[in-house]
Structure 1
């Protein structure tokens, strides 16, 4: 008896699709961009740092685009949309990932911390979606990067948590506005994940180890998540497999906010 090996003729899930990942030059954003690219997508990434953008583009390959863009700067959303329009780019998925996390106790919060956080995490996200809306193809998906901090009341996270709660609300209201165009909006809310973001929390370096150990002890799985685990959730919600999922939140936190 002769056994024949069949080669799958299925195309990658994102073949002939273009996706945008803001903050795609490191951490969760880069992991997501790499997964999209591995599944056939043309990937556009943004970020503020040119060096890390160049390094990320080298990993993504010649078909990728890397655009320097500051999510918290005035006019950045329109500039991003104009750059994509000039290249004839339309989008099948957008991951609004660029974010800022600075923790401080109530008495330590000043207006600068508040404004910086909301300018990037909320204002930047909202106006990016507004500016990019004309470039979204029918059936496109928008994924917002939330956080379980919006749910768990962690001390010193008040401003960051409030900004992420605002994003979760936006997923519902913008879903209602865009669903008529066949565009789905959803949220992925990570728990603690091993990314460079933890070094940018405003916590002194000598306290980071103790902070990480304390957080890990609260996670039922007793470990931090990985960027790839969050990226897989983003890719799933962006795919046709999630075509009936609209205006919801997928929590990826090792059970921290659930158990």
Structure 2
């Protein structure tokens, strides 16, 4: 299909998991794609898998000053931008007494502050119309223990889809969000658990999902394609929950 034919897209955190799968689907729908990441190994792997026409940008999602460099790289490569998928994020799960300021700031820098200033940097090159999709989380809607800081950071993004929609719709920029439940991606391997503890945590989380399983990256990517496409031209400030029913409990 060609739902994104001729469109120019940026995916942050596009070298693994949901971001990489979304890059695959964007390409299959005819888009020109740029992805960001920080890990040299996954950057190179993405380059090999996605092909020479994809723009690979090394960038830290938490680096406010670096967001201008990302925007400049996109301007040089594409001239402008039609789609932004703000996907890069970090998940840290700790009880409230275990948090310190450094960890708190890291989560908000990656998940909220960096993305906000990336969107600011991209504004001059966004086309009219343009679509921005934020990757939030079911955690902002449920009272999962140990997720207080992560959930708060994702709730901030969910606020952005409404406030920034109201601010930017006049210039043709739509903001929407996908809010995944547990998805089988490398994210869970970065939580700092031992392999045994990670399996126990995964089983515990899966037990909270009415569908009885983790989601697939492709199931999230398909929703992002819809929101990025002209099929969603009348969809503004909305959130698509893709959580296996987890948020209904």
Shared fold (TM-score, shorter chain, > 0.5): yes
Could you say which residue in structure 1 is the equivalent of 2:79? 89
Aligned partner of 1:160 in structure 2 is: 150
Q: Which residue of 1 aligns with 2:222?
A: 232
Given the alignment, which residue of 121, 127, 132 partners 2:117? 127
After TM superposition, the score normalised by the length of structure 2 is 0.97
Matching residue of 1:101: 91
Alignment partner, residue 30 of structure 2: 40
Q: Distance in 2 between matches of 1:94 and 1:86?
A: 16
CA contact (8 A) 1:19 1:94 kept: yes
Mind listing any 5+ residue stretches in structure 1 that lack a counterpart? 1-10
Partner Cα separation in structure 1 for residue 113 and residue 37 of structure 2:
16
- The alignment yields a C-alpha RMSD, in angstroms, of 1.1
Q: Answer yes or no: is the 8 Å Cα contact 2:34–2:74 preserved in 1.
A: no
Q: Give the drift of 1:164.
A: 0.1
Gaps of 5+ in 2: none
Q: Which of these residues, 47, 59, 64, is aligned with residue 49 of structure 2?
A: 59
TM-score, reference length from structure 1: 0.94
Mapped pair 1:243 → 2:233: yes
| Structure 2 residue aligned with 1:144 | 134
Deviations 1:3-31 (A, max 9, x none): xxxxxxxx711111110000000000000
- Who is 1:73 aligned against? 63
Counterparts of 1:237 and 1:40, CA distance in 2: 15
2:192 counterpart of 1:202: yes
User: CA separation in 2, counterparts of 1:234 and 1:156?
Assistant: 28
Q: Distance in 1 between matches of 2:2 and 2:237?
A: 26
Structure with greater Cα Rg: 1
What CA distance in whole angstroms lies between the structure 1 residues aligned with 2:192 and 2:102? 13
Q: C-alpha displacement at 1:88, in angstroms? A: 4.5
Which residue number in structure 2 is paired with residue 183 of structure 1?
Answer: 173
Question: Structure 1 CA distance, aligned partners of 2:220 and 2:163?
Answer: 23
